Each structure stands twice: as structure tokens, then as C-alpha cells.
Structure 1
Amino acid sequence: MDATDSSSSPRPIAPPASATRTRVLWFSCIAHALHDGYTDMVYVLLPIWQADFGLGYGALAMLRGIYAGTMASLQIPAGRAAQRWGSKAVLAAGTLLAAIGYAVAGLSGSLAGLCAALAISGCGSSTQHPLASGAVSRAYGRDARRPLGLYNFSGDLGKAALPALIALLVTVMPWRHGLWLMAGLGAAVALVIALFMPASRPRSQAPARDATEPMRKAPASRGFRLLLAIGVLDTAVRMGLLTFLPFLLKAKGATTPMVGTALALVFIGGAAGKFACGWLGARAGVIGTVLATEGGTAALIIGVMLSPLPLTWVLLPLLGVMLNGTSSVLYGTVPELVPADATERAFALFYTGTIGAGAVAPVLYGLLGDHIGAQGATLATALTALAIYPLAIGLRSHVHADL
């Protein structure tokens, strides 16, 4: 009788699965917007740091590389930490650490302190991409392509909003104070994630050989390698161009607030590019979309280089559409090229490669810029975009939508 009464006693009612996965998506989007905004705030700050520390293009690109490099190197360890402590806890802690890094940057009085602060913030941001995208992928299963597209779109919103906000703040207060305000925003987002995001833990790899074998083999498939190579070059183009864009605009007579506005236009165009490439991908397929966006990127980079400042304002949103739109179809294709139980690892590898490219490419382009100037290095980014063509054609036979 007692057993019957015990079994029939009221229990907490779990939220519907659809409501839970919607919450996972929205909090993942919030995290993505903040972390991507944090990452691209650096571009607005580069000319300011150049004036404060007297740095060349190579050194400035290295500052950007420190953030992206630490972020890239800890993608896979972040996934392992999530298997032990859960995605929610690791993501919240990483978000707080990223905010602390920017607070330390505001306190730093030397170039070495600034480098350490960017490394701290990059470590924190390493948690976001693999954990948030993996959480969305697990929550939606085979229906994850559209939610992942929304997740990627949210990153572009952060890229548009936070660089524009810091550009505005540095016109009314010292840049250090502006960074403290941005750090406070990050701490608030970390608290919200810790309190309200549904708990999630990636599936751990089973010890049996037959269970782990797909995890080892899947990300090494030829299709995945080609996709990763395209992602690496696409990221290199984007990060290399954004490193030089503020200086190209300054040479045309743009002020710091105008540079912030210009970056916002690029990222707003990138956000629109997510939708445009989703529409184009449904009609032209993944490969057709990649070919169109990379060719458009190369053409518009050259157009921005050669155009006067008034025409540049018109071209920047179009450049953003091409520059950022490719990534949405690339990320959405990752689950198609690996088994379901390899998705988490495949995303970690993909983000490690692409974010690693975001760390290395600006340094290489920056050193090139020290030798041939900003215009020549920017032209090199356009040529890199065209180098993606043979890789995209080789990927065609591996993508179901383009068979």
C-alpha cells in the first residue's frame, strides 16, 4: 500500500520537450551573440591600440591572433569539460571568464597586460561554439539545420551590435571604461545562462571499440576534410579583410565612430547573408552557394579597395552578405557528413580549424601588409577567396543536396 501511495504521489511536471529545446536554442543564441560580438570588438579597438602602443600591422594582427588562437586551441578541451560538468555549467563559466578578460584589458597598463587579457577572454570564448552548437544539434536531432541557421544568424547580430556599441562608447569615455561596461554585460549574460538555460551534457564516448570507431573515423572522411578546408580558407578571408578594413577606411577619411558604423554595416549584411544563403542554398545547393558567395566576396573586396568613401558605404553591406553568408551553409552541412554520434566531435574539430585560421590568417596577412602595404594584403584576401573554387567542386560528390 505504501509502495502504491509512494508511486502515485505528485511529482514535478517536466516542461514539454519542444519548450525545453526552444530554451536551449534561445540561450545558445544569446551566448553566440555575446561571444561573437566580443571577438569582433577587437577590430574597432585595433586603431586605438595602435595609437596607444605604436604597433605595426603585424603586431596588431598578433593581438587579434592571441584572442582567436586561445579560443581555437581550447575548443576540444571545452567539449571534454562539458562531458564532465555539463554544457550549461561550462558555457556559463566560459562566458564569465570572457567578460573577466575584457575587464582585465581595461585595467592593463602595458602591451603585455593587454595580451594576457585577450588570452583570458579567448579562453572563455572557447566554450561557446562547440557547446552551444552541439546543444542545439542534440536538442533538434535531424531537424537541426534550420535552428543551427538561426544560431549562426545570432552571432552576426552580436558582431553588428557590440563593435558598434564599443565604437560609440569610446567617443564619450576612455576606451578602458568602455571595456569595463562591456565586461559587465558579459557577466550578466553568464548569470542568465547559469540560472535559466536547460542543463545539457554531451554524450560521452563509450569505451567499447565498436562504439568509438565511428567517432574516430567520421571526422576524417574526405567530405569532412574538404568542408573543413573550405571553412578554414573562408575564415581566413573574413578575418584577414576585417583586420585591414579599419585602416582602409581611415585612409579614405573615416573617423573611429565611422569605422564602428562600417563594421556594423558589414555584420548586418552578414546577418542578412544567413537568410540569403539559406534561400540560395535551397535552390542552388551548397556548392552553388559557396561558388557564388566566394566569387562575390572577391569582387566586392576589390570594389571596396578602389571605391571612394561614399560608394564604400553602399558596398559594405553587400560585402557582408557574401563574406559571412558562406559560413551558414558550411556549418549546416557538418551533420550531413558525419554519423549522429560523431556530431559533437566533428563540430569541435570544425570550429578548431576555422577559429584557428582566424588566429593565424590575420598574422600572416599582417606581416604581408608590413611588406606590401594594406592594399596589397587586402588584395591577397580576395585571391584566397577564389582559391576555394576547386575545393568546393571537389566537395560536390559528398554533399547529398548537390548529387
Structure 2
Amino acid sequence: MSVFIRRYLPVVILLLFVGLSAGLLLNRPQPQQKIVETMVPVLEVVQVKKQQLAFNVNAYGMVKPKHQAELVTQVSGIVNRLAPAFAVGQFVQKDDVLAYLDDDDYHADLAQAQATLAQAKALLEQEIARGIVAKKTLRHVATTKQSALGLRIPQRKQQQANVNFAKAALARAQRNVDRTIITAPFDGLITEKHINVGSHVNIGEQLGHIYGTDIARVRLPVTPRSFSFIDQNPLNTTVVLSNESHANERHGQALQHWTARFIGTEGIIDPQTRMVYLIVDVIDPYQLRLSEQQRTDVLNFGTFVTAKIAAKPIANAIKLQRHMVRDNHVVLVDANGVTQMRKVVIARMDLEHAYIRAGLDEGELVSLTWPDNHLEGTVVTTVLTSPKLIGPPVLTVIPSKVADSGE
């Protein structure tokens, strides 16, 4: 008996230990289910809408007159009298008298030229009469033997030439008399005056400067790329000028606007700035054709203006905030709430917006933000935002409880 116990007791003990261990394992308590919080990004998105988009090309320039001229004299003399309108800042009309020069000597020259012409005409009449007498005297002489000198034909031509010469001298003397009266060459604004009563002026001396007030001209520099967006047909392109907006808004002043007429370009790319210069005109900038009570938005020469030039519209385009596009890509959220990168074709960009020509379909959702450390294929929760309510980009995350088993 003792031998049997000694031989099989270890086996029995081992089996009891194995059975006890199995029972403990089978009867152990089950681990409780643990709730794990997973952070799911929330993206603000806008729904893509295709439309025909119209936009402007902005440019800046200074208002200058289309016509301007130096007032010079074509005769010399002493300034006898100045018109009240010949003063800096005064508006004048075409042919208004500005100044008078001493014309006594020129009237004397005119009288002398008149006398010379009268004398030449008298000599011509005498020569014509002599020619008639000579012709009668030689009427019995054969025509082949009659000489031109005998008929006094050269003498009559000489006197006719003297008459023509005297007429030219008279016309010159009359012009010199007229030139002693200085007049405005066109409707304009006097900007400079260099003479006074008693001043002696010589031929070609500058008397003053005048700006034409019929048309104001503005040169607008734009880049060649911006110029490609503009319809070069003046009938299809509208231009609106305004004064310096920020300065007026800060001081509470109302903005002024002027409609300009698009003329075209200067035909070249400036070799130094590499810009294309557009030419626009404003008719009657000082509104002189209106009464003083009707003059509201006067456009002064020298004003620095902002120009909005209507560009060619883009058909079936999508307008997005500029920060939504990086390196020609946007963050798209599909119907399953999964993000993906999408390459787009940009028609143009300005300071605030990007205009997408291709790459997006109607109704797709585009994220307003670019999440940090974004990985394509991320599951997100979307918040649809109206395009009209788009504000500063915001990225938020909220906890979402997801059941997960674990120790």
C-alpha cells in the first residue's frame, strides 16, 4: 500500500492542481466594458455652386487733362492789358481774350501793306491798258510777227506778281495785328501765368499754361495677365473711378464715383515696369456744362483715383475664399464624411477669392479650413455654412463616445 501511495501520489496531486487551476480560470470574473472617448474633427464646409461670375480688375492712376498747351506769343511787344480771366485757377472758353500787346507798330505795318497793294493794283491796271493800246496798234501786223514784248504781256505778268506779293504782305500784316490779342486755344483751366502788364515778350516766349477741361484722361497700369481678362472692345468694357476710399472712409467722407470711357491701351508693354497702360477718359470732369447748383462730383486734375474695370465673366465657375485653396488643391468631404484632396483649375485669384474653372462638381462639399497634420481619408463631422456667412476659418473638435472593449 505504501508503495502504491508513494508511486502515484505525485500524479494525483498534479491532477488536483490542474483541475483546481482550470476551475479558477473558468470561474474568474469577466472584465467590464470600458468607454473610450475618440476625438472626431468637425469641419465647416460650403456646398459648391457653379455660376457665371463677373469680377473687376483694379488699377490706380492720376487724373490728367487729355489736352494741354503752352500759351506763347507769335509777335513781340509790350503787354498793354490782361483780361481778368487770365489768372491761375480761372476757367476760360475757346477764343476768350487773355492779353493784349501793343499793336501800334503792327497797325502801321498793316497800313503800309494796304498802300503797297493799292499801288501795285494801280500799276497793274495801267499795264493792262497799255497792253490794250499795243494790241490795237499791232492789229495790222501779222500775228506771227507780233512779239509778246510788243503786246506788253511780260510787263503785265510782272505787275500781277507785284499785286500778289502785296496781297501776301497785307495778309501777314493783318495776322500780326491779330496776334497781338492772345486768346484761349480751347475751353480750359489756367494753371500758369508768367506775364504782367508792362512785360515785354518776344516771339515764342511762354506766357502761361492751360489745361483742357473737355476731357480728363487717366493712365491705368495693369499686369499683362490682368489685361488678358479685359474685353478689349470699348463698347463691352465699363470703368468706374472713385477717389481714395480708405482716406475718405476714415474721415467719414462720402465716396465719389465717375463713369469713365475705356479708350484702349498705349499699344506696348512698358519696358521698365512690364505693365500695360490702359487709357480711360472722363467727359466734362469739372461739369462746366452744368449749372453751379448741379455740380456735385467734380473730378479735379491731379486726383489719385481707384479704377474698377469690368472683366470678361467666367462661365460655370466656382467662387471660394482664397484661404480654402493651397497649391491648387482643396479639402473635399465626400458623402461618407471622409476627406480627400482634390486638384482644381484656378481661372484667377485676387486678394480675397479664388475663381475655380474646373475640378469640382455641383453640390460637393469643400472645407473652409486646412486641418493641421491633415491626412487624406480622415473621417470628420461636417457643419454646412452658407457662402454668405463665411467668416474667419475655424477648426474645432468634439468628443464622441465610442464603445471599445479592453482591459
Give TM-score, length-normalised by structure 2: 0.17
Give TM-score, length-normalised by structure 1: 0.17
* Higher relative contact order, chain-length normalized (CA < 8 Å, sep 6+): 2
Of the two, which has the highest radius of gyration? Answer: 2
| Higher share in helix | 1
